[in-house]
Each structure stands twice: as C-alpha cells, then as structure tokens.
Structure 1
Amino acid sequence: TADKLLLLVKRSKHSLLCEWGSCEESFGRMQDFCQHVDEHLRTLQLDEEPDSLAEEQSCLWRECGFCAVESPGELLRHVYFHCYHTKLKQWGQAVLQSQPDLGSCALGPQNRNVVPDISDNFVCQWEHCETSLENPEWFYRHVEMHGLCTEMKSNGREESALHCGWKDCEATFKGRFKLREHLRSHTQEKVVACPICGGMFANNTKFFDHIRRQTAIEGQRFQCSHCSKRFATERLLRDHMRNHVNHYKCPLCDMTCPSPSSLRNHIKFRHSNEKPYRCEYCEYSCKNLIDLRKHLDTHSSEPAYRCDFSDCDYSTRSLHSIKSHYKKVHEGDFMPRYKCHVCEQCFTRGNNLTSHLRKKHQFKWPSGHPRFRYKEHEDGFMRLQLIRYESVELTEQLMKERTGNNFGAFTLLCPVLSPPHRGQQIKFTLCLSLS
C-alpha cells in the first residue's frame, strides 16, 4: 500500500542537499542538516538586531527569492522550512524511483524551492503544553511524541482507547498509527513532496494523484460530463465531480454551494458589509486582497494595464479603460465563442451574451445566483449552463421551499457516474427561472 511504501522510503538512507548560495554539502541525518543550516544563518548576524531586519538579509536558498521584512524570526522559520521541504522532496524522489511505471511530474522546476509563508512560530496545543518552535521538523516530532506517550484510557462503557489531547478535540482511536495520522489534521504536517515541482502532500495517495494528473491526454480516459475535464482514473473523476455537487444552502437566499468554504465565501461577499482590507493611502476599503491590489494601482503613476496585442502600445491605469480599449480597437480580433442556445447568435464576450439572454429571451437567474454561467461544448462554443447538480436531500428541501413559485425544475438520476458519496443519489436541477 501507499502507507507501507512511504514507511520503507523513510527507513531507507537519504541525502539532504544544502542549497544555500553555492553550498552543496549533503547530510544523512536531519539533525546534522539543520545544524549545518544554522551555521549559514549565523553568518547573517540576525541576533544583532532583534527588533528589525535589514532588507538585504534575504533567503539565499537557490531559486527561492524570499525576503523577510518583519523580524529575524520570520527568516528563521522560512529557512528551517526549506530543510523540512528538502527532506520531503527526497522522500518523494525515492517513492518515484520505487514506482517506475507511475511516470513523473511535468509541471517544471520553477517553483520547486518555493515554500509557504510562516507568519508565526509553530505552537503545540496539546493539553497543558504550549511549546513554541521555529523549526517545523522539531515541531512535528514534538507533537508525535505526545501521541506516542499518551496512555490508553477507558470510559467504562467501551474498550480502552487513545484520546487526542489537542485543544477542543474529543477524537479517540484504537491504535497509535491512527492517532498519529489524525494529529496531522491539527498540525497540517505533510509527509511527501514532489521532487520536480515542490508540491507537498498529506499522504502518498495524493502524491500519486498529482503525478497521474500529468498523464498525457490519451491516457486520461475518464471525462467529466459537466465540464469536459479528463482524468487518468475513475476515482480522480469521482473526486472531481464532488466540486459540481451542491450540498449546502445559504440560510439568507436560495444560493446552493458544494462545500462549507464556498458557502462561507458566498455569505461574506453577498450578505456581509464587512470590509477588512483598507488602503493605507486613502479611506478605501474592500472585502478581498485582489480588489485592494487593483485599487492600489490607482495611487501609482505607472500604468497598471498594458494591451497584450502585438504592435499596440496602449497602456492605462484603469481596468475599465483597458476593457474599453479592447472592445473599441480589437473587437474584431476576438473569435465569437459565446453562442446563444436559443437563436444561435454569437458574441465575443460572456457579458454580451448575458445581456442578450436577458433582453431578447427574458431569461432570469434564480435568487442567490448573481450571474449566468457558461459551459464549453465539444464544438468549442460557450453556451449557457442550464443544470446544476444537487444532492437528493437538498433538492427535496429546495422543492418544498419553492412550492408555488414558477420554477421549471425537474429531477433525473445521474446516468454517467456512481454517486460521489456512497449511498447518496445525485439529481439534476434546472438552474433557471423562465418567468
């Protein structure tokens, strides 16, 4: 199995290569590797300025480009994560070598040494323990020791079990392996990384999926009937289909979503007036970082948008202006890919087709859905998406709420795939109100 394979890889010898500047020393033990990297860090003299960090004190790990701007601790955590990341990539390399038929990653090495930003120390939340560590390797081993040292307990009704001691967690397990696996859900520990692109994964199965997704198109035999994406295995296709199935309904409108996170985002952007992102130069505030970055361009004297067409030197600081430029100057250069499914009229942009559907054919979208969505068909044209996938339970709930409303809804069992969730049927629900 994938877990047994990973265990064998961990027990095998591995070489941890230092990539700090021109250094190419390698080590067989993680402790020796981290001590060696400590020597590189000491050359930066981080302790001389405990409250500040000079701009030139950036990470010298090859192909990284990170520059710490807040504190010496920020750079320490970042470089220690490179050590941990190097170990995971070495394990990933060993896994691929043991599975020659699996193939290899085709994404390229441009991001192989890019690691996540670590804003704070790693803090253990096991009961009566608040240990804070800068090195992720020592933090994960520290939490692992909690799991190894916890004792079997009995609650008087069932056989003895291991209790997770993490804050506000009441999970119990019959074996230490399951407890250790569970603890990764608290610490976000990864166990393997792709040696080519650097991507990290929580288990070998997800790593294998990552490689299989790079399979050539002729090997991707399983195609999604909804969005036409292709996959190498039926399980990958079923996992993908979960993203198309709505299980959660907004309590404030008729919007349905496939996951709790997408529902939270919907409520945040559609029903909340909170705008936590504020401009440091004026009173502007917004709901997300992308909008803030767009706004910050208005405070710059440099043009933020440039025309992508060759032989065109147009540039502007306004998103509206660049869109207007494309429409007025280059409209004829676009292929009209958006086609009306009613009268076959074609448009170069989706919003033009939306305007056509609303004015010409009097189409309306259901409450909670702020726009029309378009799906690419086999002939290359984008047409209106008329259906959405919902669980049986959610469909029945919606139909009860919509009794008396003029919604053309119908139900049909999915003919293409087995349900993404065992024992749970999937139905199609018409997405549009045509009144």
Structure 2
Amino acid sequence: MADKSAKRNVSLVLQCEWGSCTHVSSRMEDFCTHVSEHLRQHQHEAREEAVDCEDEYCCHWLGCGFFTPDRTDFVRHVYFHCYHTKLKQFGLQALQSQPDLNPCQLDTQTRNIIPELQDGFICLWDQCESSYDNPEWYYRHVDTHGLSAEYEVAGKENRVLLCGWKEHRFQCSHCSKRFATERLLRDHMRNHVNHYKCPLCDMTCPLPSSLRSHIRFRHSDERPFKCQHCEYSCKNLVDLRRHQDTHSKMPAFCCEYEECTFTARSMSSIKAHHRKFHEGDCEPRYKCHVCEKCFTRGNNLTVHLRKKHQFKWPSGHPRFRYKEHDDGFLRLQLVRYESVELTEQLMKEREKQGAPMDTTTTCLVLSPGGSMESDEGVYDRTVVEKDCALLS
C-alpha cells in the first residue's frame, strides 16, 4: 500500500492521444478531467450529427479504432486509456531507472491496444457494490478497503488480515458471466432481454442504440463517410479508415515478432496472423451441438448448420451467434429472451398477417415479488424464452 501511495505522488508525463490533442498533465486527476471533456464533446457531436450507427461512439485515441453503440462501454473504454497511459509511464520510469534492463520489444504500433472490458468495475468487498467507469477511481476505492481491513487474532501475538472480497457466486445462464450478488446478476440480465422491435422487419433488440444501428445498416442506403482520395463511401468511420489504408504505400501494421516479416493493413489481420502462426491457435473451437463436428472458424460452422442440419436464421436476425461453454468450445446460442410486452406485440402482428409465431419454448413464471424465477436464474421482469435458431 505504501508503494502505491508513493507512486501516486510521482511526477508523471501523461500525454493525451485523443485525435490531434497534445495536452500533457502531471497528475491523474487533471488528466482524467481533461479526457472527460473529449468524451463530453464527442457525445455532443454524435447527437448533433445524428450518427446513430455502430460508429456512434468511435474511440479517437491514436492507434485504437475501438467502436461500440453502447455509451457506457465507450466511456469505460476511454477512461481505461487514461489508466493505461499511467501504467506506460510507470513502465518507462522503471526502464530509465534500471539501465541494465533490455528495452521493450513490443511493436509501438500496437501500444494503445487495450484489453476488451467485458464488465464494469464493480467492488465486490463485503457489504459494498460500488461501481465505477474509471479504473483509476475503482482501484483507489479498493485500496481503501485494504487499508481498513479487519484483523483476526491467530495466536497470542500473531494477527492476520481478513480479506472481505466475495466470490462470484451467481452465474448468468445466457453468457456464463459470474456476479457476487443476485442484484448484480439481475442488472446484467437486462442486457439479454429484447424490448425493442424494428418497424421494418422482425429484428428485436435489447437497446435503442442497437435498434438504431440495425436500421441504419440494414434499411438505409445512406453512406455519409466519403473517401477524400476516391469515390468510395461507407456507413461508418471504422470502414472508412480501413479503406483509407489502401491508399497508403506502407502497410499499417507489422508483426511484432522480431524474425517475422508479415505485414497487414488491418489490426484484425495481424491478430489472425498471431493466432495462426505464433500462438498455436489452430485447434478447432467451434462445435456443432447436433453432431459434435468441430470447426476452426465460426463461419464454417454456420455453413455446416445451414446445409447439413437445415437450420435457418431467426426472422429479422442476420446471423447465428455462438456461446462459449465450460469445455471451451463455442456452440450455437439457442436461446434469446424477449419481454412479454414485446412478445404480445409480435403475436398480434403475426396474427394479422396470418403467419405462425417463431417456435416458443418456456414462458418463465412470474414470482409474487415481481421477479422471474427459473432453474437458470432470477430475472427482474417477465420474459419469454425463445429459440434463436429454427429448423426449417
């Protein structure tokens, strides 16, 4: 703890890399405040320009390229860049203070690629469920629990600290994520329940932003992002940036392994190259839930399911989704959840059209307290569980 406190007081050179910004801060508090202004301005511009597609929230941090339709995920991602900038400063200071260490061997082109953040930063200390979007404030908060941890007597003169961190006892049956409390599980399950239906097709979505993204990409011909070098235009900023790389004579990305000369114009190609040639990830991870046949790519399993077993995509949904199981294999996701209100709306529409509803499985039972209980977990509102892939 003392070491962490000392690091907070060390003078830092925190360089903002949002777009062309050159701001530098020496304190994390000032740096996070500065970056929050970029977030505020970016969200304001997104609303003004009505860019409601997948690039609605696109990270402008140098060399990143992350995008998401979810505002919360976007804010959490950008603040992690702040925290990552501080970690890189600590690493640089360690290298400078120990000249005998070898220099960093990582490719500078990938230095701002940060990990995917699956969940929010939630404190699991006993009797505490505080949550944060910024990891800096989250880790400082957890520090306070450690500093105030209770002692337990272990003998006449010995004392031991008691850890109050709770296990992830509640597991989501839909995506297998674990949570410390039932309330956190219920909050998470809201993201799996579809409440919104596309007015132009049968697609259903859990969030308004997802629905806007679907409409723009599936039902609109508008291509507002135009290339300055040719007549190419596209629907999102990420695709435009990928296209602009084709006008460059130099490859955008190089393999970080010293003896490897592989180059590519996209980060996804580099990652695929790493998995295939440097990480030994050639083992098949996709498995058919019907005949147990395995595939190395999800697209190959999709073709197998459609041709061999005559599966078809659910109405309005453009593709199959795959879920990782306990054995490490990815299998077809067979269940989706829709609110009862939305299901009733769909049934009325299909009755008017004289068409049958999609195959419906179990309608979960509403408990007296207003929550849904089943063998798979507890939900805070009534939902209908439906097949996500249908046999023709």
- The TM-score, its normalising length taken from structure 2, stands at 0.57
Asked if the contact 1:408–1:430 (Cα under 8 Å) also holds between the matched residues in 2, the reply is: yes
1:246 partnered with 2:197: no
* Residue 170 (structure 2) aligned to one of 208, 212, 222: 222
Alignment match, 1:432: 389
1:86 partnered with 2:29: yes
Asked if the contact 2:173–2:377 (Cα under 8 Å) also holds between the matched residues in 1, the reply is: no
- Specify whether residues 358 and 206 from structure 1 end up closer, same or farther in structure 2 by C-alpha distance, changes over 3 A only: same
- Specify whether residues 85 and 266 from structure 1 end up closer, same or farther in structure 2 by C-alpha distance, changes over 3 A only: farther
Alignment match, 1:65: 16
Q: Point out the more displaced range, 317-326 or 215-224.
A: 317-326
* Residue 206 (structure 1) aligned to one of 106, 127, 131: 131
For residue 419 of structure 1, what is the amino acid of its counterpart? Y
Alignment match, 1:410: 361
Asked if the contact 2:194–2:337 (Cα under 8 Å) also holds between the matched residues in 1, the reply is: yes
Q: Deviations over 1:353-391 (max 9, x none)?
A: 001111111111022111000001111110001110111
* Residue 318 (structure 2) aligned to one of 361, 367, 370: 370
CA distance in 2, matches of 1:308, 1:121: 32
- Structure with higher Rg: it is 1
Alignment match, 1:43: none
* Residue 398 (structure 1) aligned to one of 346, 355, 377: 346
Alignment match, 1:350: 298
Asked if the contact 1:221–1:233 (Cα under 8 Å) also holds between the matched residues in 2, the reply is: yes
Q: Deviations over 1:221-253 (max 9, x none)?
A: 121111011122222221111110000000001
1:278 partnered with 2:229: no
Alignment match, 1:235: 183
Q: Deviations over 1:279-309 (max 9, x none)?
A: 1111111111111111111011112354578
Gaps of 5+ in 1: 1-16, 25-60, 90-111, 124-192
1:387 partnered with 2:335: yes
CA RMSD of aligned residues (A): 4.8
CA distance in 1, matches of 2:262, 2:133: 46
- Specify whether residues 68 and 393 from structure 1 end up closer, same or farther in structure 2 by C-alpha distance, changes over 3 A only: closer
Percent identity, aligned pairs only, is: 56
Q: Point out the more displaced range, 232-241 or 285-294.
A: 232-241
For residue 356 of structure 2, what is the amino acid of its counterpart? N
Asked if the contact 1:62–1:113 (Cα under 8 Å) also holds between the matched residues in 2, the reply is: no
Q: Deviations over 1:315-372 (max 9, x none)?
A: 2447998799799989985111100011110000100100111111111102211100
Gaps of 5+ in 2: 1-7, 45-78, 87-116, 122-128, 143-162, 365-372
Q: Deviations over 1:151-191 (max 9, x none)?
A: xxxxxxxxxxxxxxxxxxxxxxxxxxxxxxxxxxxxxxxxx
- Specify whether residues 227 and 205 from structure 1 end up closer, same or farther in structure 2 by C-alpha distance, changes over 3 A only: same
Asked if the contact 1:247–1:257 (Cα under 8 Å) also holds between the matched residues in 2, the reply is: yes
1:288 partnered with 2:236: yes
CA distance in 2, matches of 1:429, 1:318: 37
How far 1:409 sits from its partner (Å)? Answer: 2.1
Structure with greater strand share of residues: 2
CA distance in 2, matches of 1:122, 1:407: 38
Asked if the contact 1:248–1:256 (Cα under 8 Å) also holds between the matched residues in 2, the reply is: yes
Alignment match, 2:93: none
User: What's the secondary structure of 2:303's corresponding residue?
Assistant: helix
How far 1:84 sits from its partner (Å)? Answer: 11
CA distance in 1, matches of 2:29, 2:251: 40
- Specify whether residues 329 and 355 from structure 1 end up closer, same or farther in structure 2 by C-alpha distance, changes over 3 A only: farther
How far 1:216 sits from its partner (Å)? Answer: 11
1:360 partnered with 2:308: yes
CA distance in 2, matches of 1:286, 1:228: 36
Q: Point out the more displaced range, 220-229 or 324-333.
A: 324-333
Q: Deviations over 1:41-66 (max 9, x none)?
A: xxxxxxxxxxxxxxxxxxxx822234
For residue 220 of structure 2, what is the amino acid of its counterpart? S
CA distance in 2, matches of 1:122, 1:226: 31
For residue 234 of structure 2, what is the amino acid of its counterpart? C
Number of residue pairs the alignment of both structures matches: 277
For residue 433 of structure 1, what is the amino acid of its counterpart? L
Q: Which has the higher contact order (CA 8 A, sep 6+)?
A: 2
User: What's the secondary structure of 2:342's corresponding residue?
Assistant: helix
- Specify whether residues 120 and 400 from structure 1 end up closer, same or farther in structure 2 by C-alpha distance, changes over 3 A only: closer
How far 1:419 sits from its partner (Å)? Answer: 2.7
Alignment match, 1:340: 288
- Specify whether residues 68 and 332 from structure 1 end up closer, same or farther in structure 2 by C-alpha distance, changes over 3 A only: closer
CA distance in 2, matches of 1:312, 1:275: 38
Asked if the contact 1:407–1:432 (Cα under 8 Å) also holds between the matched residues in 2, the reply is: no
Q: Deviations over 1:100-128 (max 9, x none)?
A: xxxxxxxxxxxx985452686999xxxxx
User: What's the secondary structure of 1:253's corresponding residue?
Assistant: coil
For residue 225 of structure 1, what is the amino acid of its counterpart? S
CA distance in 2, matches of 1:400, 1:254: 13
